Amino acid sequence: MLSQEEKAKQETSFRKLHHLEICLKEKVQSHETTKIEDFHLVHRAICDLDFDEIDTSLVLWGKKLQLPLVAAAMTGGHPDVRKINENVAIAAQKYGFAMGVGSQRAALEKNMPYITESFEVVRQLAPDVLLIANLGAAQFGKKWNYREEQIEKAINLIKAQAIAIHVNPGQEVIQIEGDTYFQGFWQRLNGIAEKIKVPIILKEVGSGFSREDAQKVENSPLSGIDIGGLGGTSWIGVETLRLEKETSSLNYEMGNLFWDWGIPTAISLVETRSVTNKTLIATGGIRNGMQAAKMIALGADIAGMALPFLEAAAQGLEELDILVKKFQKELKITMFLTGCKNLEELRSIPVVVSGYSKDWMEQRGIDLSMPWRKKI
């Protein structure tokens, strides 16, 4: 008879597949927005630029990217997701953006070729792409006790240039099989970070980061944050939809109550950048190049999208081409209309704050002029 731990390992792969099926078929968005609509870029009528010479490139962790874009973590741990990984990897290699893979826990725990190959194919098809590995913070708590060995295995599996440790207490506490024993992970991760050869970042999955938690990262050996704010896919919502046939369950009720829990992405970015100079990835409800431009103007190093990539990749390479070309054009037009010839200039332009976000910043004592947007 299988132990509870062995059963959990067996279920991980199929749970990842179920997550993707729900994201592709159901309405998984937060009912709240990212609040990016509260942040306004100032139009520049005197435009002294050549549109074709606008530079959207950057260097992140020593790797040159042509676009400030990450295809954020979506897939992992089941052979049926291999084609999606393949399509995104091909597009990333073609257009020069970064890519994060989904949780690699299933690959580490089961070590089956049909699982590991769904990850390995990414590096095979994208030899020049900045790849971000992925493991869960709960697995570094006292229950699972992940250590340096597991991080190195995840990195080596895809030859990653960085690794994200996802912190998802909201999702886990609603998930019927959720790991809610996070105790000890932060201390263990800090002890491991200096021994790892690539940058380690913390990644939220839809509830965002506060200024208080960003300050902890600033004072740690970690390299940055993927803020994963409220306004995009609600992973609390995804777990709730997994329970739709068990509507009488307490977890289903709690999932509906906490569906929109968190800090909106734009506000989370302002909170985090106000206290840290470390790398910030803005994910959570980014749907076009204009929104990405606003996030960069607010201090993000790079923006990320997950659901749009998942939906496009499920349809094929042609849809991915359209998605990336649109993003690039939208970003460049926004830069053109604000007088920015590169991303560094985009981080220096005026930004006007209004509405809910202005109220939030005033109550939290965050300077509305945002002098820290351009990192020192």
Per residue in 90-107, pLDDT tens?
A: 999 999 999 999 999 988
pLDDT at 112: 77
Q: Token digits for 138?
A: 């709960």
Sorted by sequence, the CB contacts under 8 Å of residue 244 that are 6+ apart come out as: 252
What is the C-alpha to C-alpha distance for residues 325 and 19, in angstroms, rounded to an integer?
Answer: 27
What is the C-alpha to C-alpha distance for residues 141 and 137, in angstroms, rounded to an integer?
Answer: 7
Beta bridge partners of 64: 59
Residues in the chain: 376
What is the C-alpha to C-alpha distance for residues 194 and 39, in angstroms, rounded to an integer?
Answer: 37
> Is residue 70 situated within a structural domain?
yes
CATH code assigned at 319: 3.20.20.70
Going by C-alpha positions, the residue among 36, 166, 100 that lies closest to residue 305 is 100
Residue 51 CB burial class (10 angstroms; 0-12, 13-18, ≥19): exposed
Residue 193 CA to chain centroid, in angstroms? Answer: 20
> Is residue 103 situated within a structural domain?
yes
Beta bridge partners of 197: none
**Residue 292 and residue 303 in contact, taking contact as beta carbons nearer than 8 Å:** yes
> Is residue 325 situated within a structural domain?
yes
C-alpha distance across the termini of the chain, in Å:
58
> Is residue 373 situated within a structural domain?
no
pLDDT in tens, 293-352: 999 999 999 999 999 999 999 999 999 999 999 999 999 999 999 999 999 999 999 999
Q: Token digits for 52?
A: 């074709």
69-71 and 98-100: which strand pairing?
Answer: parallel
> Is residue 92 situated within a structural domain?
yes
> Is residue 184 situated within a structural domain?
yes
Estimate the crossing angle of helix 113-125 against helix 82-95, to 10 degrees: 10
> Is residue 80 situated within a structural domain?
yes
Distance set, CA 226 to CA 208, 281, 353 (Å): 9, 4, 23
> Is residue 30 situated within a structural domain?
yes
Q: Token digits for 269?
A: 């970015």
Range of the domain at 261: 4-363
Residue 351 CA to chain centroid, in angstroms? Answer: 24
Distance set, CA 313 to CA 76, 89, 210, 306, 365 (Å): 14, 10, 32, 11, 42
pLDDT at 375: 66
Residue with tokens 């839809």: 206
pLDDT at 3: 47
pLDDT at 227: 98
**Residue 270 and residue 293 in contact, taking contact as beta carbons nearer than 8 Å:** no
pLDDT at 348: 94
- Structurally, the chain folds into a number of domains equal to 1
Q: CA angle at residue 20 from 16 to 24, to 5 degrees?
A: 170
pLDDT at 304: 98
pLDDT at 322: 98
In the chain, DSSP assigns E strands to 39-41, 58-60, 63-65, 69-71, 98-100, 131-136, 162-167, 200-204, 224-226, 279-282, 302-305, 351-353
What is the C-alpha to C-alpha distance for residues 55 and 346, in angstroms, rounded to an integer?
Answer: 11
Going by C-alpha positions, the residue among 271, 269, 294, 277 that lies closest to residue 351 is 294
Sorted by sequence, the CB contacts under 8 Å of residue 162 that are 6+ apart come out as: 61, 130, 131, 132, 133, 198, 199, 200, 201, 223
Estimate the crossing angle of helix 235-242 against helix 250-258, to 10 degrees: 150
**Residue 79 and residue 118 in contact, taking contact as beta carbons nearer than 8 Å:** yes
| pLDDT in single tens digits along all 376 residues of the chain | 434 444 444 566 566 677 878 998 999 999 999 999 999 999 999 999 999 999 999 999 999 999 999 999 876 666 678 889 999 999 999 999 999 999 999 888 877 777 888 899 999 999 999 999 999 999 998 888 899 999 999 999 999 999 999 999 999 999 988 999 999 999 999 999 999 999 999 999 999 999 999 999 999 999 999 999 999 999 999 999 999 877 778 999 999 999 999 999 999 999 999 999 999 999 999 999 999 999 999 999 999 999 999 999 999 999 999 999 999 999 999 999 999 999 999 999 999 999 999 999 999 999 999 998 876 4
Residue 70 CB burial class (10 angstroms; 0-12, 13-18, ≥19): buried
Q: CA angle at residue 279 from 376 to 276, to 5 degrees?
A: 55
C-beta neighbour count of 113 within 10 angstroms: 10
Task: Please name the helix (run of DSSP H) or strand (run of DSSP E) that holds residue 151, with its range, or none.
Answer: helix 148-158
* pTM passes above 0.85: yes
Which DSSP symbol is given to 136?
E
pLDDT at 14: 63
pLDDT at 2: 38
